[in-house]
């Protein structure tokens, strides 16, 4: 039950947020254990029968009202929520009213399972809902209920496109209920952002709100106590100035695709930086690349593509020492020299065009490996960005120096109430509980799934894999079934496109180069006979509607051409088909020559596996499953370690950095 106030006011101040916990580990363990026991004692409250029964008690009364009468009931409910807070009874009444309003305004009535999903989120937990179960409509339940209680609500999505789409879909419902909503995107200036955050419900990509919070922290300086912030807020109002901060605090966040934002994004810290002038920057970058080009892979340095690491050998270090003698004095210090050359080697060998970045309008733009989307305004640290720009012959941007830094873990932990939903969260349920104190509740599907998941086909070499792949696509197109082909990188999607074109197969491509046409391409992807090649852009949040007669043919066929770094990301691609009871199927075409297998296994293992492959046929399914699973599990473990290390460093730095001083 959520009955404590979560909004700005006399009790929580003008900028509510959770105080950072410096409790000893034993006290923290005791608190979590107590929460676990409390949850087990009350777990009957998170069953479908419980919440549906409670909501239906009020549903019958609301169903017979006119629109004006129902809106009057909502106003009365809003007043009671302001006075009594988010009690169980008032939440259930609100859910019934919102469900009825959604049916009238949007023509969409919340399913019973969506009521359970909303109930889980309003109680500060994560609802695991299968892809296609209507998470966007489900989040409207807790978002509207909290907004009616006067709680500022942040609904976070994976990117600007999804934030804009979801807010536009639900805006008529919000307006009908008397709730103001807004969306915050990358292109907005500070004043536009400030106005948006004054609305009851704000949709935004997670990084947008996180960076705005970091800017507020910088504006606060050391004045972060409740009374100090309240005084600063009142003083600005008295002088007729804009509100001193962008946000109204961190009250209630609903994180759509929770595993993406709370887990995957947590590998990268939030950093606000400014340009730093460096007269010799261009010369230094070109010199570093020149030195890197003089070194030989294997003898002078070793590459670890899996971890994106470069290690200089003693021979390589000695060679650099000799070469530096004829160069500028800045190359004489050994540590500085080797650091710059190591970065140059990374830029040259490990960061690849159309995989890690793309060139657009003469600029290097980073591609998010998890979503396949360009991340505008993002730069690599420590001069790596400038080295890649020099490698590509682009105009070199100024180096950046950090002004403020924070991990996603610390940011999300400062919300008074944190909740979320995702279709692929069970694999990281333990980490969510350990880091954020979030419990995961699995919500049943509205209809039984009709997805047919076929065994992955692992071939001896790439030639056999692509031959079988093309034959399958040709067969599917003759049947009239739409096909979605998943590619890990932009480069791979372009190669697959060329392969299909060579065989006369008409298709469309969705990758970071075509991001402006995303909605148009997705609208066609489920039509009869359509072939779509897509990166992970066609993953989270993408709803591919089936065309007329497609369901009778078997629905959408998803074909993966390689495993991603995490099983969850693979499941997101699989979830594009067989949504909401529709038919669909999934199959994978891979080869023993795939990069992930080559970098993980010794050659002798791969040669042995190749010997076991029948000619032009895939490896036995159980052997393929073993070979494919271990590299992925290892990568998941490495990413988990990286997140833990980042969180540990961030907590240590928090005690030192002045901008992140005491919360109270």
In the chain, what are the domains? 25-269+407-442 (3.40.50.300), 278-397 (3.90.1440.10), 450-628 (3.40.50.300)
Place 663 in a pLDDT band, splitting at 50, 70 and 90.
very low
Binding-site residues for ATP sit at: 114, 132-136, 543
**Between residues 292 and 269, the one the model is more confident about:** 292
For 325: left if phi > 0, alpha if psi spans -120 to 50, otherwise beta; the answer is: alpha
**Residue 540: HSE in the Cβ half-sphere, 13 Å Cα cutoff:** 30
Contacts of 412 (CB under 8 A, 6+ apart): 253, 255, 261, 262, 418, 436
Please tell me the least confidently modeled range out of 39-53, 329-343, 647-661: 647-661
Asked whether the predicted pLDDT for residue 97 surpasses 90, the reply is yes
List pLDDT tens digits, range 552-588.
999 999 999 999 988 998 998 898 898 888 999 999 9
Q: What pLDDT, on the 0 to 100 scale, is given for residue 45?
A: 63
In angstroms, rounded to a whole number, what is the distance separating the alpha carbons of residues 284 and 383? 10
Binding-site residues sit at: 114, 132-136, 543
List pLDDT tens digits, range 300-353.
999 987 778 899 999 999 999 999 888 888 888 889 899 999 999 999 999 999
Give alpha helix (H) positions in 382-440. Answer: 384-392, 408-413, 429-436
Place 30 in a pLDDT band, splitting at 50, 70 and 90.
low
In angstroms, rounded to a whole number, what is the distance separating the alpha carbons of residues 454 and 451? 10
In angstroms, rounded to a whole number, what is the distance separating the alpha carbons of residues 284 and 337? 10
Q: What pLDDT, on the 0 to 100 scale, is given for residue 660?
A: 44
User: What does the angle CA 652 – CA 653 – CA 657 come to, to the nearest 5 degrees?
Assistant: 140
Beta bridge partners of residue 128, listed in sequence order: 422, 442
Q: What pLDDT, on the 0 to 100 scale, is given for residue 661?
A: 46
Mean pLDDT of the residues in the chain = 87
């Amino acid at each position: 039950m959520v009955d404590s106030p979560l909004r700005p006011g006399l009790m929580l101040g003008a900028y509510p947020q959770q105080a950072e916990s410096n409790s000893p580990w034993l006290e923290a363990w005791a608190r979590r254990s107590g929460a676990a026991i409390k949850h087990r004692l009350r777990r009957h409250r998170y069953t479908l029968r419980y919440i549906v029964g409670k909501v239906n008690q009020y549903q019958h009364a609301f169903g017979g009202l006119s629109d004006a009468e129902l809106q009057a009931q909502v106003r009365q409910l809003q007043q009671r929520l302001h006075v009594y807070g988010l009690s169980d009874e008032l939440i259930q009444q609100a859910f019934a009213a919102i469900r009825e309003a959604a049916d009238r305004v949007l023509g969409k009535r919340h399913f019973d399972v969506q009521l359970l999903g909303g109930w889980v989120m309003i109680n500060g937990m994560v609802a695991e809902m299968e892809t296609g179960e209507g998470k966007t409509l489900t989040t409207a339940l807790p978002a509207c209920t909290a907004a009616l209680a006067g709680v500022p609500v942040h609904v976070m999505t994976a990117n600007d496109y999804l934030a804009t789409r979801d807010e536009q879909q639900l805006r008529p419902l919000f307006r009908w209920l008397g709730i103001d909503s807004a969306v915050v995107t990358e292109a907005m200036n500070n004043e536009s952002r400030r106005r948006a955050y004054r609305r009851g419900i704000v949709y935004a990509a997670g990084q947008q709100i996180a960076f705005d919070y970091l800017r507020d922290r910088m504006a606060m300086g050391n004045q972060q106590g409740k009374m100090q912030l309240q005084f600063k807020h009142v003083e600005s109002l008295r002088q007729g100035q804009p509100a001193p901060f962008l946000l109204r605090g961190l009250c209630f966040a609903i994180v759509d695709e929770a595993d993406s934002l709370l887990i995957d994004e947590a590998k990268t810290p939030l950093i606000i930086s400014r340009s730093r002038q460096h007269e010799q920057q261009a010369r230094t970058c070109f010199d570093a690349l020149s030195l890197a080009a003089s070194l030989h892979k294997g003898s002078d340095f070793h590459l670890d593509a899996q971890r994106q690491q470069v290690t200089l050998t003693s021979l390589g270090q000695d060679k650099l020492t000799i070469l530096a003698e004829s160069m500028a004095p800045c190359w004489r210090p050994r540590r500085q020299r080797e650091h710059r050359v190591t970065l140059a080697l990374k830029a040259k060998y490990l960061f690849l065009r159309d995989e890690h970045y793309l060139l657009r309008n003469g600029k290097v733009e980073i591609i998010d490996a998890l979503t396949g989307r360009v991340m505008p305004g993002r730069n690599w640290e420590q001069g790596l960005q400038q080295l890649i720009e020099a490698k590509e012959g682009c105009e070199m941007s100024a180096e950046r120096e950090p002004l403020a830094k924070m991990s996603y873990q610390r940011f999300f932990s400062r919300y008074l109430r944190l909740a979320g939903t995702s279709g692929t969260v069970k694999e990281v349920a333990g980490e969510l509980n350990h880091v954020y104190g979030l419990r995961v509740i699995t919500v049943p599907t509205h209809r039984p799934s009709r997805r047919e998941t076929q065994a992955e086909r692992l071939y001896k070499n790439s030639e056999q894999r692509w031959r079988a792949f093309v034959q399958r696509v040709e067969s599917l197109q003759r049947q009239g079934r739409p096909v979605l082909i998943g590619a890990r990188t932009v480069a791979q999607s372009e190669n697959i496109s060329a392969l299909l074109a060579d065989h006369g197969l008409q298709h469309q491509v969705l990758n970071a180069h075509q991001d402006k046409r995303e909605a148009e391409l997705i609208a066609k992807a489920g039509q009869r006979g359509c072939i779509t090649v897509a990166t992970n852009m066609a993953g989270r949040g993408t709803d591919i509607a089936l065309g007329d007669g497609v369901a009778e043919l078997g629905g959408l066929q998803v074909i993966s051409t390689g495993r991603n770094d995490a099983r969850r990301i693979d499941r997101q691609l699989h979830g594009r088909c067989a949504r909401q009871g529709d038919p669909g199927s999934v199959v994978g075409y891979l080869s023993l020559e795939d990069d992930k297998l080559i970098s993980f296994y010794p050659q002798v293992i791969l040669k042995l596996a190749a010997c076991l492959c029948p000619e032009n046929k895939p490896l036995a399914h159980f052997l393929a499953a073993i070979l494919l699973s271990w590299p992925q599990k290892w990568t998941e473990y490495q990413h988990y370690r990286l997140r833990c290390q980042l969180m540990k460093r961030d907590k240590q730095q928090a005690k030192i950095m002045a901008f992140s001083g005491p919360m109270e």
